[in-house]
Structure 1
């Protein structure tokens, strides 16, 4: 992905962060953990996060469910954050990377301050394994605090997803009346407690107030779970939008802007892939390299705007001759075009090249600077039987040489060659489709 694509993704992600309360940042990492894009205007300090627990989890687990991780220190801002992540799969289901949203612990600390508990009260969020995510009052050692051995996790949660209980804290030893609840759909427990001594000293003053507080806390925990769930849904929506945007950007990056055929980059990548496939399968592969005849003279006579229209017309005619899904037509550069034909022998490739030549000849695109009065095209065709790995550059060079030969022999023609065992044996074919100008 180039810089322009990254900038577009970053802009989209930054807008999502603005629209979703509580999200600090959005990030995309590839299958190796390398940073691809983020919602921050500046770059990230650490560009590989493959050592993070959430990354290893998604890499090693095929499920695409939301993963909420333990608190970590952000490598971008230095803040304490809760990582919320999801696996990104390729079309074939293999691991392609991770989408990450970060929620600052401070967001929940601010939320907790709005809840009415006494000075010895406590509110916290924890993972199902007991790792604390956020707590009021704040703990300096939040990242290393685990409450799994407390009564809440050993005596109550195994039997009920919500309720109230008198529990002595394993963090500070204070006995409190707790309201607790598992957050629906997430591996999170939310709990809040008021001091047992505060409630019953004196009991007749605080009884009704304390019961109201417990009820309010239970309601607030449900609300908190809803807010967190909503944030995660926004993450999923943002991820889907990013996937769509990324797919569109990939199409743009692989398409020639003028002709809408594949571009040189797409051709090079596809050629390498198909070459390796042909090498594995002991099959053949064909390349047709084409050049519009007398095109410089066309531009000189009609101007570059008409020249662009000519390129568009020729590209459309070339594309119409591509019949199989696996074949590829591309603009190679300037007035040059190329067709890649996997699993195609020389006879088949020559047939396609001749079909293209005739289609352009019969279109009668005016070209008064050409000896024949209309636009024509010349082609060099090379077929490689059982290609050796890494030899595709030389194959393109051979197609270019054959194209040059067709030009020197009169233009508006096709010249081809079979290269058995890549280049060890060469059988020259006669000119195909004469119609010289």
Structure 2
């Protein structure tokens, strides 16, 4: 991994960014899961509350219904109805009819008048003939237990009526048995439960009539929510849960509801989604900010590492380049030349192409140093190197300083004629530079060049070719210097063989 980072420094930045993105993704996934768990827990809690409230209502309705049935049975028994009033009252009305939330218990005749009341001091209306529960039983013998809509009473505030039909011996309508249940009973159930500052609990009838709601609003009495989209969803199933805006106050809530068996009541618990997610949002904000800071820091460190590795790679490349470069002339040094020489020799053998080498030596350079000093001698070598570099134009040709005042040029895929032409170009360019040289017979700085070619490379090896070029250099010096001596055609043929 370390070697990969050194060779490809961008990997550090890309990998660091990738890790940060993955970490952010995992954090987001975890936070989202936490959100779903908070909502799920709220639904479960709401379902439990709905079950508790519904169970209490179902038990009390069952008790009240048993009392009503007893009243109906007694009212239909002629032997009981002829007893004295106080005795009839004690027989017809049990303890359930005197419970805390019962507003009144009555036996009402076929004309809507009260004939027996549980509380002798109660002052009911003169007639119940126009009440919905009375009309329902009179018009339909099979109604059974009937629950009225909420209504206001003079004595006990708001209430609902529970009633059953009383039949005459011939089956005709003889009146009703009535219990009035104060809405305070339903409020007492909701008062014990907290569902957050913006939450709501309600009990509604299956036709949309609102029985009670927490928080209580004065206008809730006689309110009907049948036209709201949220209520419509409650009428299709016996229980369920959904998220919607309340038709009463517009707050988005998680509605969990259930129908109370044997009654027209629907109990709903609806905590506000904002309240449910408040703790999750606070925690998510902290986690999100920390994840963002750590992620950005990690990315920044990754890219700083990338920049550091890139600079290190550049420094290493520079060191490699400097290790293969002659500091004085800027040309490749002997080490770099030897490596390239081996590579080009093997390539030439594979492709069966020619390789040529120029061996260049500055004439009378010792005398130049003696006359002008080493500093100017270095300047002269730099000038010679510049002339060589300017003459070598092909990208594959390799000029190098071989040592001291000696230079070489490697010419891949070059025959002897091309090598000779380049050698003459180099020699002429250096002579034209007209660098003064008192130690030379010509009076200016010149070079001698030996030229050798392997076409194609034979078994003598790369250094055999370099030796041939060196031998031709000695030939050029023996010929008076400032000249080029190539291998003759016969020499090339011998080298090939």
When normalised by structure 2's length, the TM-score is 0.45
Partners of 2:305 and 2:20 lie apart in 1 by: 20
- Tell me the C-alpha RMSD between the 2 structures: 3.8
Q: What is residue 215 of structure 2 aligned with on the other side?
A: none
User: Alpha carbons of 1:363 and 1:159: their partners in 2 closer, same or farther (altered >3 Å)?
Assistant: closer
Residue segments in structure 2 that go unaligned for 5+ positions in a row: 38-276
Query: Does residue 386 of the first structure (1) align with residue 461 of the second (2)?
Result: no
Residue segments in structure 1 that go unaligned for 5+ positions in a row: 1-26, 38-57, 69-83, 87-124, 134-155, 169-206, 426-437
Q: Deviations over 1:275-322 (max 9, x none)?
A: 122111111011000101111111111111111111111111122211
Partners of 1:276 and 1:367 lie apart in 2 by: 41
- SS class of match (2:482): coil
Q: What is residue 180 of structure 1 aligned with on the other side?
A: none
User: Alpha carbons of 1:85 and 1:219: their partners in 2 closer, same or farther (altered >3 Å)?
Assistant: closer
Q: What is residue 337 of structure 1 aligned with on the other side?
A: 407
User: Alpha carbons of 1:255 and 1:126: their partners in 2 closer, same or farther (altered >3 Å)?
Assistant: closer
Contact 1:259–1:312 (CA under 8 A) maintained in structure 2: yes
Partners of 2:473 and 2:338 lie apart in 1 by: 18
- SS class of match (1:257): coil
Q: Which moved more, 1:260-269 or 1:289-298?
A: 260-269
Query: Does residue 29 of the first structure (1) align with residue 3 of the second (2)?
Result: yes
User: Alpha carbons of 1:303 and 1:66: their partners in 2 closer, same or farther (altered >3 Å)?
Assistant: closer
Offset, 1:340: 1.2
When normalised by structure 1's length, the TM-score is 0.51
Offset, 1:267: 1.4
Offset, 1:163: 1.8
Q: Where do 1:257-272 residues align within 5 Å?
A: 257-272=327-342
Q: Deviations over 1:140-171 (max 9, x none)?
A: xxxxxxxxxxxxxxxx9699575243999xxx
Q: What is residue 165 of structure 1 aligned with on the other side?
A: 34
Q: Deviations over 1:304-357 (max 9, x none)?
A: 111111111111112221121221211111000111111110011011111111
Query: Does residue 360 of the first structure (1) align with residue 334 of the second (2)?
Result: no
Q: What is residue 305 of structure 2 aligned with on the other side?
A: 235
Contact 1:329–1:339 (CA under 8 A) maintained in structure 2: yes
Structure with the larger RCO, 1 or 2 (CA within 8 Å, 6+ apart): 2
Q: What is residue 395 of structure 2 aligned with on the other side?
A: 325
User: Alpha carbons of 1:220 and 1:268: their partners in 2 closer, same or farther (altered >3 Å)?
Assistant: same
Q: Where do 1:1-400 residues align within 5 Å?
A: 29=3, 160=29, 162-165=31-34, 212-388=282-458, 391-400=461-470
- SS class of match (1:404): helix
Offset, 1:238: 2.3
Partners of 1:347 and 1:222 lie apart in 2 by: 69
Q: Higher Cα Rg: structure 1 or 2?
A: 2
- Give the structure with the higher percent strand: 1
Contact 1:380–1:403 (CA under 8 A) maintained in structure 2: yes
Q: Where do 1:425-436 residues align within 5 Å?
A: 425=497
Q: Deviations over 1:207-266 (max 9, x none)?
A: 977863443123212222222122222222223323333333333233211112222222
Contact 2:12–2:306 (CA under 8 A) maintained in structure 1: no
Contact 2:457–2:496 (CA under 8 A) maintained in structure 1: no
Alignment size in residue pairs: 254
User: Alpha carbons of 1:388 and 1:231: their partners in 2 closer, same or farther (altered >3 Å)?
Assistant: farther
- Give the structure with the higher percent helix: 2
User: Alpha carbons of 1:284 and 1:214: their partners in 2 closer, same or farther (altered >3 Å)?
Assistant: same
- SS class of match (1:225): helix
